[in-house]
Amino acid sequence: MSAASKIGVIDYGGGNIRSLVKALETLGAAPRLVRSPEEFENLSLVFFPGQGAFGDCMAKLQSLDLVDCLTQWIRDDRPFFGICIGYQLLFEGSEENPGVEGLSIFKGQVTKFPASELKVPHMGWNRTQLRKTDAAPWNDLGPAPYFYYVHSYFPVPRDSGLTAATTDYGTPFTSAIQRGRLVATQFHPEKSQKSGMLLIQNFLTENGATSSH
């Protein structure tokens, strides 16, 4: 089995994962959908994409018995890329569904955009200010690439050292985090054309999961 076929995509029965699967296939990878703990076996890296409500997504992860294996994967510092709700669920809770506990990998809450003249959800392209432009997987993207966003909530990490990128939409917010071999983004790289595909490719390359052409 090639390294490229060891890429897992969490499929919790909701959200939008087809665009990520298609992006990975375009890059020459052969991702596998992960719907049970057993399907984590033999994986080399995991993507957690999707859209949906915080509480609903946590309930689906619990019903599929994916919470423990997912948190263990991350705590073991194995390659992980979270997108949109796959980023928000890494934190303790969300204003979207008060009282629902997230994966609690990191301390902090997911909060709603404050009231302003700007339309919510934040939808469309926005400039993303990178903290480190020379470090993988952000290399070759430039200091402020544009990525595509669709969200009404965003995490506020307790540890500012996690922040890999920030974006401004009426208020500045942490649009990406990085720790060890974990990367998570509020934006959708799989929908962000050249910059997004380069970010995914860089992540695959960094973690030895590029395909041979």
| Active site members | 84, 188, 190
What are residue 146's phi and psi, to 5 degrees? -95, 135
Q: What is the 3-state secondary structure (H, E, C) of the chain?
A: CCHHHHEEEECCCCCCCHHHHHHHHHCCCCCEEECCHHHHCCCCEEEECCCCCHHHHHHHHHHCCCHHHHHHHHHCCCCEEEECHHHHCCCCEECCCCCCCCCCCCCEEEEECCCCCCCCCEEEEEECEECCCCCCCCCCCCCCCEEEEEECEEEEECCHHHEEEEEECCCEEEEEEEECCEEEECCCHHHCHHHHHHHHHHHHHHCCCCCCC
